[in-house]
Structure 1
Amino acid sequence: MGGTMRAVVLGGPGPVGNLVVRDVAVPEVRPGWVRVAVKAFGLNRSELHTRLGLAEGVTFPRVPGIEAVGVVDGLDPADEECGPAVGQQVVTMMGNMGRTYDGGYAEYTLVPVGQVIPFSSELAWEVIGAVPETLQTAYGSLTTGLDLAAGQTLLVRGGTSSVGLAAAALAKGLGATVLATTRKAANVDVLKAQGVDHVLVDDGSVAGAVRALYPDGVDAALELVGTPTLPDTLAATRVHGTVCFTGMLSNEWLVRDFYPIGYLPKGVRLTAYGGESGDLPGEVLQHYLDEIAAGRISLGPTHVYRLDDDDIRQAHMDMEMGRTVGKLVVLTGR
Structure 2
Amino acid sequence: MPSTMRAAVLTAPGIENLHVTDLPVPEPAAGQVRIKVMSFGLNRSEHHSVTGQAEGMSYPRVLGIEASGVVDLDPAGVLAPGTQAATMMGGMGRSFDGGYAQYVVVPREQVITFSSPLEWDVIGSVPETLQTAYGALTTALDLRSGQSLLVRGGTSALGLAAAALAVDRGCRVLATSRRRAGLELLAARGVEAVLDDGAVAGRVRKRLPGGVDAVLELVGAPTLRDCLAATAVHGTVCFAGMLSDSWTIPDFYPMDWIPTGVRLTTYAGEAHNLPATELQRVLDRIAAGALDLVPVHAYPLEDIVRAQQDMAAGTHVGKLVGLPWS
Superposed pair shares fold, TM > 0.5: yes
Specify the alignment match of 2:217 in structure 1.
223
Q: What is the match of residue 328 of structure 1?
A: 320
CA contact (8 A) 1:180 1:200 kept: yes
- Distance in 2, matches of 1:263 and 1:212, equals 21
1:57 corresponds in structure 2 to 56
Aligned to 2:181: 186
Report how far residue 2 of structure 1 moved.
6.2
- Is residue 2:140 matched to residue 1:145? yes
2:239 pairs with 1:245: yes
Greater alpha carbon shift after TM alignment, 159-168 vs 255-264: 255-264
Indicate the SS of the match to 2:150.
strand
- Equivalent residue of 1:243, what SS? strand
1:176 lines up with 2:171 in the alignment: yes
Report the aligned-residue RMSD.
1.0
Match of 2:208 in 1: 214
2:248 is matched with 254
Matched, 1:268 2:267: no
Cα deviation, residue 17, structure 1: 2.2
Work out the CA distance in 1 between the residues paired with 2:175 and 2:2.
49
Which whole-Å CA distance do the structure 1 matches of 2:243 and 2:182 have between them? 17
2:147 paired with 1:163: no
- Contact preservation (8 Å) 2:73, 2:81: yes
Partner of 2:120: 125
**Amino acid across the alignment from 2:21:** R
Partner of 1:10: 10
TM-score normalized with structure 2 length: 0.98
The total of aligned residue pairs comes to: 326
Shift of 1:265: 1.4
Letter in 2 for 1:315: A
Matches of 1:234 and 1:322, distance apart in 2: 26
Specify the alignment match of 2:297 in structure 1: 303
Moved more, 28-37 or 252-261: 252-261
User: Where do 1:288-299 residues align within 5 Å?
Assistant: 288-299=282-293
1:307 alignment partner AA: L
**For 1:178, what is the secondary structure of its paired residue?**
strand
- Spell out, residue by residue over 1:13-61, the C-alpha distance to the aligned partner (whole angstroms, 9 max, x if none): 01x2221000001001211100000000000000000111111110001
Cα deviation for residue 255 of structure 1 reads 2.0
- TM-score, normalised by the number of residues in structure 1: 0.96
Deviation at 1:257, TM superposition (A): 2.6
Structure 1 Cα separation of the partners of residues 185 and 161 of structure 2? 12
Structure 1 gap ranges (5+): none
CA offsets 1:83-140 (integer angstroms, 9 cap, x no match): 3211100000000000000000000000001110000011000000000001001000
Structure 2 unaligned residues grouped into runs of 5+: none
Q: Quick check: 1:40 aligned with 2:34?
A: no
Report the Cα offset of residue 193 of structure 1.
Answer: 2.1
Q: Tell me the secondary structure at the aligned position of residue 229 of structure 1.
A: helix
Residues 228 and 257, structure 2, Cα contact 8 Å, conserved in 1:
no
AA paired with 2:10? L
| Alignment counterpart, residue 199 of structure 1, candidates 185, 189, 193 | 193
Match of 1:154 in 2: 149
Query: C-alpha separation between the residues in 2 aligned to 1:329 and 1:301?
Result: 10
Q: In the alignment, which of 299, 304, 308 is matched to residue 312 of structure 1?
A: 304
SS in structure 1 at match of 2:222? coil
Q: CA deviation at 1:328?
A: 0.1
Percent identity over the alignment is: 60
Runs of 4+ more than 4 Å apart? none
C-alpha deviation, 1:315, in angstroms: 0.9
